[in-house]
Amino acid sequence: MTDANELRDAIRRAVDYRGDVTIRRTDGRVVEGFAFDARLDGSSDECIRVLPADAAEREVVRLSEIESVSLSGKDAASGRTWESWIRRYAEKKLAGEAASIESEPLG
Quote the pLDDT of residue 107. Answer: 52
d(CA 7, CA 40): 10
Quote the pLDDT of residue 50. Answer: 96
The model's pTM: 0.69
The answer to the question of residue 43 being in a domain is yes
Q: Which residues contact 92 (CB under 8 A, 6 or more apart)?
A: 98, 99
Give the structural domain span for 29: 1-98
40-93 pLDDT, tens digit each? 998 889 999 999 999 889 999 999 999 999 999 887 666 667 787 788 888 988
The answer to the question of residue 104 being in a domain is no
How many structural domains does the chain have?
Answer: 1
The answer to the question of residue 103 being in a domain is no
CATH number of the domain residue 73 falls in: 2.30.30.100
